[in-house]
């Protein structure tokens, strides 16, 4: 069974291959196809709420459909995904030097992220072990944010008035950097498919949270990232553990709507999903099933009001 809309690597391009024309030249207008749509999903939750487990369920779904996944490996926790044999980009891998290796600096890790993004935009990394790559997985955004933060602090601007490094400005720009990087990853994942006629990619990312000023927020550096970055994604699920309805133990749930309080104050957490497609709270969520339902929704194969529990 193929994911709906799959065209496969090597299919006829819907747009001509880039020719190096002037940046200001208007690109060709094309007809969008349902197969162009690929979800970008952010999973937010405290430690132990099942974020990495949901990534494993998504990868199992891809494996069952003959697709591979790319994991952006920032720390050792990505090893728990190894049983599913994903393609891993080890951003933090040591740098080879004469006679051995040394740890990568924050700026070198940052440069690796940008290089991977640029290669992705150029149409690379679309096959692994003979399988089409279905999605890029970030586990998680906190670790990406830490790289951006360390890189920015290592290259702090100097104040024109005092001649000292401007840490306030560096902190203010961290969030903007992180938002821009993730937005550019989304663009790279889809733009290459249009340019080269290859399979578009989904994006899945995880992020921890904390209770701040009475509201749960993503743990991300900078002023803007924690409130703005999650909504760069088409779907934001807040994962939590709650007492099962029958009192039998702990239930894992995913909230799909803003929590507890209605407008104008949207409650203690943020979440979003296509209206009417899912229950406000999904019990024992399976990100593979959620992904499949989103794809079917984009293709018009499901009706609004359908729900899953």
- Compute the average pLDDT of residues 286-309: 76
- Compute the average pLDDT of residues 38-51: 92
For residue range 59-116, list pLDDT tens digits in order.
999 999 999 999 987 666 667 788 888 888 888 899 999 989 999 999 999 999 999 9
Confidence class for position 17, pLDDT limits 50, 70, 90:
very low
Q: How far apart are CA 259 and CA 208, in angstroms?
A: 17
Q: Are strands 100-102 and 127-128 parallel, antiparallel or unpaired?
A: unpaired
Residue 278 has pLDDT above 90, yes or no: yes
Alpha carbon of residue 216 to chain centroid: 19
Report, at the CATH architecture level, how domain 34-298 is classified.
3-Layer(aba) Sandwich (3.40)
**What mean pLDDT value characterizes the chain?**
81
Q: How far apart are CA 171 and CA 273, in angstroms?
A: 31
- Give the rounded percent of residues in the chain with a pLDDT score beyond 90: 34
What is the CB neighbour count within 10 angstroms for residue 46?
Answer: 16
Q: With a threshold of 0.85, does the pTM exceed it?
A: no
65 burial via Cβ count (<10 Å: 0-12, 13-18, 19+): middle
Question: Which residues have a Cβ under 8 Å from the Cβ of 37 and sit 6 or more positions away?
Answer: 5, 200, 295, 298, 299
Answer whether 39's CB lies under 8 Å from 293's CB. no
Q: Residue 96: its pLDDT value, please?
A: 92
* Per-domain boundaries in the chain: 34-298
Dihedral sign (CA 141, 147, 150, 154): negative
């Amino acid at each position: 069974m193929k994911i709906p809309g799959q065209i496969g690597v090597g299919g006829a391009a819907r747009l001509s291959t880039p020719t190096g024309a002037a940046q200001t030249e208007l690109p060709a207008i094309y007809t969008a196809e349902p197969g162009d749509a690929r979800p970008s999903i952010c999973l937010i939750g405290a430690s132990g709420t099942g974020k990495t487990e949901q990534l494993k369920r998504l990868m199992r779904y891809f494996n069952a459909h003959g697709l591979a996944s790319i994991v952006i490996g920032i720390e050792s926790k990505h090893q728990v995904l190894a049983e599913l044999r994903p393609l891993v980009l080890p951003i933090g891998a040591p740098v080879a030097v004469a006679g051995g290796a040394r740890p990568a600096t924050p700026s070198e890790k940052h440069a690796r992220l940008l290089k991977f993004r640029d290669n992705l935009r150029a149409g690379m990394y679309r096959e692994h072990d003979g399988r089409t790559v279905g999605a890029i997985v970030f586990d998680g955004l906190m670790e990406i944010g830490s790289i951006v933060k360390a890189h920015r602090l290592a290259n702090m601007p100097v104040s024109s008035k005092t001649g000292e490094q401007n840490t306030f400005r560096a902190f203010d720009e961290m969030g903007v950097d992180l938002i821009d990087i993730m937005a550019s990853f989304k663009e790279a994942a889809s733009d290459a498919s249009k340019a080269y006629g290859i399979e578009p990619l989904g994006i899945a990312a995880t992020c921890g949270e904390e209770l701040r000023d009475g509201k749960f927020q993503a743990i991300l550096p900078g002023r803007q990232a924690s409130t703005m970055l999650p909504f760069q994604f088409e779907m934001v699920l807040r994962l939590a553990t709650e007492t099962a309805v029958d009192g039998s133990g702990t239930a894992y749930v995913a909230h799909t709507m803003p929590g507890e309080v209605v407008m104008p104050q949207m409650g203690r957490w943020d979440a979003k999903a296509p209206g009417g497609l899912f229950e406000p709270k999904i019990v024992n969520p399976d990100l593979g099933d959620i992904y499949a339902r989103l794809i079917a929704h984009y293709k018009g194969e499901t009706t609004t009001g359908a729900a899953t529990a």
